[in-house]
Amino acid sequence: MADVVLRGDLHSTRPVPSSSGKEVTPTSISIGRCTVISAGSVIKPPCRMSRGQTHYYPIKIGDNVFVGPQCTISAISISSHVYIGANVTIQQFVIIKENVKVLPNTVIPANMVIASGSVVGGQPARVVGEVGEGWGVSGGGAGGGLGVGGGSEEKWVEGGDLRELVRSIK
Amino acid sequence: MAQPFPYTYYACDCYDNNKPQTVAEAAAEEERDLDPRHPRSNYSLYPLEHLLYCEDCQQIRCSRCVTEETLNWYCPSCLFEVPSSVVKSDGNRCTRNCFNCPVCTSPMTTNSLDTSGDNAAPYTLACPYCKWSTVEIDIEFEKMNGISGQLAKIANGGRQIPTQKERDKERERRKELEARFRDRSALSPSEDSPTMDTWREDHAPSRDDLFSNLSAFYKTQIETTTASNPFSHSDINFSSPSAYSRIMNMYQSTNKRNKRDKPSPVREAASTLEGLSIHDPSTDVAAIERIKTEGWATTLSPSQRHAQTNPNIRFDTELRPLATLLCTKRSKRCRSCRHILSKPESKITSTRYKIKVLALEHIPRLSIRALPSYFTNPTQPPTPAAPHTPYNALKSGIPTHFLLHLSNPLFDPIRVTLATPSTTPGKVQSRITILCPKFEVGANTDVWDDALASSLSPIKHASQDLNQIEAGKIWDRGRNWTSVIVEVIPGFLDNVPGSGLGPGLGEKFALDEKKKKAKQEGEDTDDELDEDEDVLEIPIFVRIEFEADVNAEERSLGDSRGNKNEREKREEAFWTVVGVGRIAAV
Ligand SMILES: [Zn+2]
Ligand SMILES: [Zn+2]
Ligand SMILES: [Zn+2]
Ligand SMILES: [Zn+2]
């Protein structure tokens, strides 16, 4: 999507031992399959000050993750089947487990761990509910798609399954 | 849960089913349309992924018609399992290092106050969100771990909190003192009680002090009055809630027995040492004084107070960090037949299920989307850059087409009948027409079948003469899905009942009252729309019929083998509510 900023340049400054002896740039952002990052979102690896130096840590995003528009994400890890609504701010070193729904306009404070199956919302975020058992299950019946529209079709996720959406973009 | 448009909710009719009904009522029930605005609908409409399905009852099961059983407890922050014995003795909070900010609820982090950069003692708990920290209540920790243990020993201001043993000892000491004092005052009754005040503490006993006093008092009371009671629990664990409920039961039963043989009745606590706390008006005056000098900013909001273990505190200097509340993993059973519908794996980190019977695997999924304008207006080329369909601004009075997509999760083809009221219930009445209410949806076969068949299948090619908005014809179909057109004429927001159309079917009575009042006061009733009254929601009744294999269980009951291929006719019906969008104000 347009206007997405992935700050891959902010990689870990720790020296990585490599067999070839050359300077190897470590991966700073890894993103899984079928993951959508919407327009206007920024993904910036989290950093920590230590002895006057800024160290960046790699960010890991799993499969089937939907990141809504205008989000700022500095989490350390986001697991699979996570839905992040629009205008969400995820502060540094947040860990989001599987099957989590983050409601729009949420601010997740730094270092927060969000257990799997939760719905979080608010500023600061707190657990406001649980996702249903059917979250992230394609149900076998989703096949076919609507067959209308192209990449500009309204982004729409139902039940945490993103395969349809991803298919419609590609 | 607020969902963006468009959405579909499924109604679970468990309430209506459990209600005792006469035949006439049941018939009326059949006739009645589901009103998504009815107050009760709030509790019966669910997104599909929240619903389970009972294969034995052949019915949708929502959170109201399942029973839950707790499998285990865990802390959502450190993700450690807490054994149920610990939950029983220590309560439902994390006993590790997980704390939430008492001001803003965000999880707190342990920081070092050491400036040398070595992360040495002392440590504090700090909130990364609102920057509140235990420094503000003068609490510092010596170690990074075992914060809750350390916190339990330090009161706000750094004072030590006595342990249970110290409390008991202190109580005994004071009781003795009190007894001695009483003897002395009996000898010289004229003497006032200055000594009394000298040993009295300079600050009031804390809530925990009172609680331990009261529990000790009741313990002795029960011991004296129920000496003959075979269930006397002299060594009961008094800090467990279950023991307390037993005590309360015994309390009641001894009272009953008192009527018969009158032993000394159980007495209530009569002094501070027995756990009695008498309200002191001077504390109120002091509190008012404090608000006068320090302002409202130092007082707590109701939610902050209620989150505290002692909800009676008033000022921010009394706040304590909140140990994180535990979460549970639960299995769910059908309320009527007790079959397990979902059971997660007990390992905390696992997100898998041992058993999970989902509604979305048993009933068709309905989804609605706006029909892109280039289908209705062929002159306009299908540009990929076409603007988003404005779900949030539907135009009143203009027929708008939506595509209702029905996909079948079953491995048998289904016949679908859709029904909808011609106008939406509620004040803003929109006209709805499903152009093709009866159609078939193919079976859900393997995805690969579809991939192989699609190149040969005539269905895809035949779709040329589909894709037209015409009554009685489906829009498009695929392997296990069919889509039909729904024509919606959004109602007028200012077209409220009383000014033309009759009152809506599910008109809320209270609203009518309000309206009447408004009418008496002035003519301006147009702005009287309730919150979300402009949301266009279409109730759709879905009935599916299909032939399925007689399910395994029933087959095993009969003399199987012979009639292996027996098929039975099945029928299922349910209400859904499709949220189409919001009608724009004209
Ligand atoms: Zn139900
Ligand atoms: Zn914990
Ligand atoms: Zn805070
Ligand atoms: Zn059942």
Sheet strands (E) in B436-566: 438-441, 476-477, 481-489, 535-549
Q: C-alpha distances in angstroms, A46 versus A29, A72, A91?
A: 10, 11, 8
Contacts of B8 in chain A (CB under 8 A): 158
Contact B544, B512 (CB under 8 A): no
Are the Cβ atoms of A144 and B403 closer than 8 angstroms? no
Chain A touched by B50 (CB under 8 Å): yes
DSSP per residue, B535-574: EEEEEEEEEEEEEEEPPHHHHHHTTGGGGTT-EEEEEEEE
Residue whose structure tokens are 């349309």: B33
Chain A touched by B95 (CB under 8 Å): no
Cα–ligand 2 centroid distance for B145 (angstroms)? 12
Structure confidence by residue, pLDDT tens digits, B169-190: 877 888 788 777 777 766 655 4
Fill in the amino acid letter for B489. I
How many C-beta neighbours within 10 Å does residue A129 have? 14
Q: What is the pLDDT of residue B455?
A: 44
How many C-beta neighbours within 10 Å does residue B562 have? 8
Beta-carbon contacts of residue B291 (< 8 Å; ≥ 6 apart): B298, B299
Contacts of B342 in chain A (CB under 8 A): 133
Cα–ligand 3 centroid distance for B96 (angstroms)? 19
Are the Cβ atoms of A143 and B371 closer than 8 angstroms? no
- Nearest CB to B405 within list A139, A146, A154: A146
Q: How far apart are CA B554 and CA B440, in angstroms?
A: 27
pLDDT along chain B (586 residues), means of 10: 71 66 56 68 80 87 89 91 88 88 90 73 87 87 84 78 77 80 64 43 67 82 63 52 66 53 65 76 86 85 86 83 90 90 85 85 84 56 46 79 85 87 79 85 67 45 53 77 86 57 41 48 49 80 82 46 64 86 77
First to last CA, chain B: 28
Fill in the amino acid letter for B381. P
Looking at the complex, report in whole angstroms how far the Cα of residue A22 sits from the nearest Cα belonging to chain B: 32
Are the Cβ atoms of B105 and A156 closer than 8 angstroms? no
Cα–ligand 1 centroid distance for A163 (angstroms)? 29
Ligand in closest contact with the CA of B82: 2
Fill in the amino acid letter for B572. E
Q: What is the pLDDT of residue B518?
A: 46
Instruction: Give the model's confidence band at A2: pLDDT under 50 very low, under 70 low, under 90 confident, else very high.
Output: low
- With a cut of 90, say whether residue A88 has pLDDT above it: yes
Are the Cβ atoms of B327 and A133 closer than 8 angstroms? no
Contact A136, A99 (CB under 8 A): yes
CA closest to A158 among chain B residues = B7
Contacts of A147 in chain B (CB under 8 A): 476, 478
Ligand in closest contact with the CA of B327: 2
Ligand in closest contact with the CA of B126: 3
ipTM confidence score: 0.77
Taking alpha carbons only, the member of B263, B280, B318, B374 closest to residue B103 is B318
- With a cut of 90, say whether residue A107 has pLDDT above it: yes
Return the structure tokens found at A66.
Answer: 């939907």
Phi, psi torsion values for B564, nearest 5 degrees: -70, -35
Helix (H, G, I), strand (E, B) or coil at B408: coil
Cα–ligand 4 centroid distance for B57 (angstroms)? 4
DSSP per residue, B106-160: PBPEEEE--SSSS-PSPEEEE-TTT--BGGGGT--BSSSS-HHHHHHHB-TTSPB
- Nearest CB to B109 within list A111, A147, A156: A111
CA closest to A129 among chain B residues = B1
Q: How far apart are CA B344 and CA B353, in angstroms?
A: 4
Choose, out of A74, A92, A148, the residue to mutate when testing the contact with B (most B CBs < 10 Å).
A148
Ligand in closest contact with the CA of B45: 1
Domains of chain A, CATH where assigned? 5-169 (2.160.10.10)
* Residues shown for chain A: 170
Q: Which of residues 443-482 of B touch A (CB under 8 A)?
A: 444, 447, 450, 476, 478-481
Contact B126, B174 (CB under 8 A): no
b/e sequence B300-312, b meaning 16+ C-beta within 10 Å? beeebbebbeeee
How many C-beta neighbours within 10 Å does residue B473 have? 15
Contact B62, B532 (CB under 8 A): no
* Helices and strands (H, E) in chain B, number of each type: 15, 22
Taking alpha carbons only, the member of B403, B430, B509, B525 closest to residue B6 is B403
Q: What is the pLDDT of residue A16?
A: 42
Choose, out of B1, B8, B48, B49, the residue to mutate when testing the contact with A (most A CBs < 10 Å).
B49
Residue whose structure tokens are 């706040």: B319
Are the Cβ atoms of A152 and B384 closer than 8 angstroms? yes
DSSP state of B528: G
Return the structure tokens found at A107.
Answer: 């601010």
How many C-beta neighbours within 10 Å does residue B495 have? 15
Beta-carbon contacts of residue B535 (< 8 Å; ≥ 6 apart): B579, B581, B582, B583
Taking alpha carbons only, the member of B207, B222, B302 closest to residue B255 is B222
Q: What is the pLDDT of residue B230?
A: 47
Looking at chain A, the whole-number percentage of residues with pLDDT higher than 90 is 18
Instruction: Give the model's confidence band at A90: pLDDT under 50 very low, under 70 low, under 90 confident, else very high.
Output: very high
Instruction: Give the model's confidence band at A108: pLDDT under 50 very low, under 70 low, under 90 confident, else very high.
Output: very high
Chain A touched by B286 (CB under 8 Å): no
Q: Where are the domains of chain B?
A: 1-10+21-50+365-491+529-586, 494-527
Looking at the complex, report in whole angstroms how far the Cα of residue B376 sits from the nearest Cα belonging to chain A: 13
User: If you average pLDDT over every residue of chain A, what do you get?
Assistant: 73
Chain A touched by B331 (CB under 8 Å): no
Cα–ligand 2 centroid distance for B348 (angstroms)? 13
Cα–ligand 2 centroid distance for B526 (angstroms)? 53
Return the structure tokens found at B447.
Answer: 């995805």
DSSP per residue, A116-132: TTEEEETTTTEEEEE--
Chain A touched by B306 (CB under 8 Å): no
Looking at the complex, report in whole angstroms how far the Cα of residue B97 sits from the nearest Cα belonging to chain A: 13
Strand pairing report for A72-73 and A53-56: unpaired
Are the Cβ atoms of A103 and B128 closer than 8 angstroms? no
Chain-centre distance for alpha carbon B1: 10
